[in-house]
Structure 1
């Protein structure tokens, strides 16, 4: 029994190592991004040129990371849908933040800006300049504060 367990653990470890070894990060040009990502960048960042764009290919997924000179990072999934925008030295463009979320933040935290916004299957998570993390559902309704 112990031998089978050890063999199973070795096989799983080997498989995970093989999968991670196949991951590739490549610098690409803006034109190589999926169309949705190109449109998003043009809409929300205008003519700003990225410092670099990385394509992160793994066996089961592909992701893209766009970095601007002002330390703003945008992450996209394989279809070019945005997943996260983080402004490390500034604020997230207001045009990215859904109106209902922007209204809530303006009303309840009028002196704060959004430094990060992330969208997931259960909703949005934002981080404010004061360090608070606010969570919203997919409709933009406030659900809770994390710190």
Structure 2
């Protein structure tokens, strides 16, 4: 029984490794991004030109990463929906932050700025200049502090 389990686990691990080995990262132009991503960049970053844009194709998914000269990074899913905006310890554009989250941070952490925001299945995660990580549900209601 142990032998079958070991063989199955080895085959599964090999399959996963094979899928990840097929991942392909390519530098692309802004025009090659999905329309949603292009609209997002234009709305929040205007005519600023990215340092680079990478398309990360894997067997089951495609993601895009855009970086600007100031080290600001934006990640998009295959449809061009933003997943994460990371200012790398610098303030991110306030136009990206949902109003309810911006109000909460302004009211409770007056001196701090949001340096990172990520959206997931269950809500938003933000990082402040003081290092605190705040979590919010999809409606923008505060849920907890992580450190």
1:48 aligned partner: 48
2:128 aligned partner: 128
Write out per-residue CA displacement over residues 108-131 of structure 1, whole angstroms, 9 at most, x where no aligned residue: 111110000000010001000001
- The Cα shift of 1:18 comes to 0.9
Secondary structure of the structure 1 residue equivalent to 2:138: coil
- The Cα shift of 1:3 comes to 2.5
Q: Structure 1 regions of 5+ residues with no counterpart?
A: none
1:12 aligned partner: 12
Does residue 87 in structure 1 map to residue 87 in structure 2?
yes
Whether contact under 8 Å (1:56, 1:62) holds in the other structure is yes
1:30 aligned partner: 30
TM-score for both structures, normalised by structure 2: 0.97
Does residue 107 in structure 1 map to residue 132 in structure 2?
no
Q: Structure 2 regions of 5+ residues with no counterpart?
A: none
In structure 1, distance between residues paired with 2:105 and 2:89: 19
Whether contact under 8 Å (1:70, 1:89) holds in the other structure is no
In structure 1, distance between residues paired with 2:143 and 2:71: 29
TM-score for both structures, normalised by structure 1: 0.97
Does residue 98 in structure 1 map to residue 98 in structure 2?
yes
In structure 1, distance between residues paired with 2:37 and 2:116: 18
In structure 1, distance between residues paired with 2:48 and 2:93: 13
- The Cα shift of 1:13 comes to 1.6
